[in-house]
Amino acid sequence: MGEDRGVRVIDLNADLGEGDGPWRLEPSADDALLTLVSSANVAAGFHGGDSATMAATCAAALARGVAVGAHPSYDDREGFGRRRLDVRPELLRAQVAHQLGALAAVARSVGARVTHVKPHGALYNAVVHDEAQARAVVEAVLAVDPALAVLGLPGSRVHAVARAAGLRVVTEAFVDRGYAPDGTLVPRDRPGALVTDPQAAAARAVQMAVQGTVTAVDGTVVRVDALSLCLHSDTPGAVAIATAVRAALDAAGVEVRPFRAAGDVPPPGGAARGEGPAR
């Protein structure tokens, strides 16, 4: 969480534009979520989305003042990008650059611009610890647009590599995912992995934004300093969750707005607040 002139500020991001083909999400979830979040991570074709969904999502985000980010994935539409792939770094660099460039071009075609990048699914998890894949992602960002901020977990390898390369980094936490006592996310196939009760998610969001902590599945209170909170559009009841979260943040006096507008992004070479061990 950041502060601006004493006002608590948080970004609220969601992964959008993922529901084409076999991955049909909650009807109209994207449109509804765009009225509630401040940043949208737009699927760029390798796990979901296509040119039509990219254009529509970018245009809708622009109309609502929502920041547009790229959401690149492994080349894995069949597995929705949730399968870890052993990809050669040079190929992964090209694949991520392809997705960043495609979304940037489509965004420009509707008058929007891409401000950040957040890897999707298994790639997101891989670059927390995998140096080679983290470096491939960062090299792709540098090649396409060094002005892009890199959104990810505190202490991740991708953040360390990005910061060393002079890129901006933004830390995030997950409102609708369960946390283990060590601060990692509970795997999706384990009990407690998803938080689907809107009021529980809302309480967690306020706890994260105001206290900088989250309660793990065993009751342990874990530090999760973050400048952005993530909601997943494919979580069951995503719109109800997002509605409750936004209302709770508003009631707690937390202003929701894009992190770049809030001035809360650590400068290149600077340390992110709350940067801790890899998670």
Per-residue pLDDT tens digits for 85-118: 999 999 999 999 999 999 999 999 999 999 999 9
pLDDT of residue 225: 85
Distance CA(126)–CA(237), nearest Å, equals 27
Q: What average pLDDT does range 37-64 have in this prediction?
A: 95
Distance CA(172)–CA(187), nearest Å, equals 17
With 50 as the cut, is the pLDDT of residue 121 above it? yes
Token pair belonging to 266: 């650590």
Q: Is the dihedral of CA 225, 229, 227, 203 positive or negative?
A: negative
Distance CA(85)–CA(117), nearest Å, equals 20
DSSP string of 239-261? Answer: HHHHHHHHHHHHHTTPEE--HHH
**Which residue stretches of 64-192 are H helix?**
89-109, 121-129, 131-144, 157-164
pLDDT of residue 101: 98
Judged by average pLDDT, the poorest of 151-165, 219-233, 259-273 is: 259-273
Distance CA(197)–CA(114), nearest Å, equals 32
pLDDT of residue 28: 58
**Chain-centroid distance, C-alpha 258:** 12
Distance CA(104)–CA(180), nearest Å, equals 36
Q: What average pLDDT does range 204-215 have in this prediction?
A: 97
Split at pLDDT 50, 70, 90, the class of 199 is very high
Q: What average pLDDT does range 223-248 have in this prediction?
A: 94
CB atoms within 10 A of CB 45: 23
pLDDT digit string, tens, across residues 158-185: 999 999 999 999 999 999 999 999 888 8
The helix (run of H) or strand (run of E) holding residue 16 is strand 7-16
With 90 as the cut, is the pLDDT of residue 279 above it? no
What Rg do the C-alpha atoms of the chain give, in angstroms?
A: 17
Domains and CATH numbers, the chain: 2-262 (3.20.20.370)
CB atoms within 10 A of CB 270: 12
